[in-house]
Structure 1
Amino acid sequence: MNLPMNEKRYRVLVLCTGNSARSQMAEGLINAQLADRFVAVSAGTQPAGYVHPQAIAALHEIGIDIAAQRSKPAAEFKDMSFDVVITVCADAAENCPVWLGQGQRVHLGFPDPAAAPPDEQAQQFRIVRDALQQQLLGYLRQWRPDAQRRNHDH
């Protein structure tokens, strides 16, 4: 993610545990639907090493291609700064690396669609995709860089 210094878009990191489902869908949604204001990457505290096929399929259904995205460790972005760090699962919120503290941090939790029984996964991925569109994109549409910084440290 090399952005020119005069780039007007804000940088978003979406963090999850495995970086295979929720955070991957969030990255794709932000980059497709909010590209005028934001550029997003996603990472995992314990990356699975792949993007879940149902995540790819769920976004493909709405015209967004995330097949080229890859599962990445959070450490890959250690030397980058972000305007917003969004955790989408409780484990990532609890284990968010300390060095990710430079941007606004917010937790927006979503259920893990990959935890559903195999015959229900496609529907669960759609449900989470739609929730991400409504809640996470809704949050970013309202987000302002001068908003009060939230401290989620316990």
Structure 2
Amino acid sequence: MKRRVLFICSHNAARSQMAEGYLRAKYGDRYEAFSAGTTATAVHPLAVQVMGEVGIDISGHQSKDLGRFIGQEMDVVVTVCDAAQGICPMFPWAKETVHAGFPDPAAVTGAPEEQVAAFRSVRNEIVAWIDATFGGV
């Protein structure tokens, strides 16, 4: 039976979407991946772009509100931003809660190249963390 993992972020626009997409693509044989936001918005186009660069298509993902998962049991709930960390005690259907904070790439301003570089950097951090956390289990 696959373990269920929910990634939570503020807007379910970048970090949690990238984490969901990567876990599903790389370890989908062992894990069922989901993501949600404390306030859902839209998937950031640069998140779609940088995941595509590593062969993972998240273009069909939609931003989801955390309320959609109320009552659904999860094996692991992972907050990927500091703002979402505070809500985890309010998710009683999680067997385990983990915080893995990553910087918000959407907060980077400047030239388009700098913005893409920020998304790539965060993607690489998320990939490394997921590999280390879920890869050997």
Kindly indicate whether the alpha-carbon contact (under 8 Å) linking 1:11 and 1:40 is maintained by their aligned counterparts in 2: yes
Q: Percent identity?
A: 42
TM-score, length-scaled by structure 2: 0.93
Q: Which residue of 2 aligns with 1:64?
A: 56
Q: Which residue of 1 aligns with 2:15?
A: 22
Q: CA RMSD in A?
A: 1.3
**CA deviation vs aligned residue, 1:37-64 (integer Å, no higher than 9, x gap):** 101010001112x100000000000110
Unaligned regions of 5+ residues in structure 2, if any? Answer: none
**Residues 45 and 97 (structure 1 numbering): CA distance in 2 closer, same or farther, change over 3 Å?**
farther
Structure 1 residue 128 corresponds to structure 2 residue 118:
no
**CA deviation vs aligned residue, 1:62-83 (integer Å, no higher than 9, x gap):** 1100001000010101121100
TM-score, length-scaled by structure 1: 0.83
What is the count of residue pairs matched by the alignment?
135
More strand by proportion, 1 or 2?
Answer: 2
Measure the CA separation in 2 of the matches of 1:95 and 1:124: 26
Q: Secondary structure at the match of 2:85?
A: helix
- Aligned mate of 2:37, from 44, 48, 67: 44
Measure the CA separation in 2 of the matches of 1:90 and 1:142: 26
Kindly indicate whether the alpha-carbon contact (under 8 Å) linking 1:45 and 1:96 is maintained by their aligned counterparts in 2: no
Stretch of structure 1 that moved more, 115-124 or 16-25 = 115-124
Measure the CA separation in 2 of the matches of 1:74 and 1:140: 22
Q: Secondary structure at the match of 1:83?
A: strand
Larger gyration radius, structure 1 or structure 2: 1
Q: Give every structure 1 segment of 4 or more consecutive aligned residues whose post-TM-superposition deviation is greater than 3 Å.
A: none
Unaligned regions of 5+ residues in structure 1, if any? Answer: 1-7, 144-154
Amino acid at match of 2:63: S
Kindly indicate whether the alpha-carbon contact (under 8 Å) linking 2:74 and 2:93 is maintained by their aligned counterparts in 1: no
Q: Write out aligned runs for 1:80-91 (5 A).
A: 80-91=72-83
More helix by proportion, 1 or 2?
Answer: 2
Q: Write out aligned runs for 1:70-109 (5 A).
A: 70-96=62-88, 98-109=90-101
**CA deviation vs aligned residue, 1:114-142 (integer Å, no higher than 9, x gap):** 00014211011100111001013311224
Q: Secondary structure at the match of 1:68?
A: coil
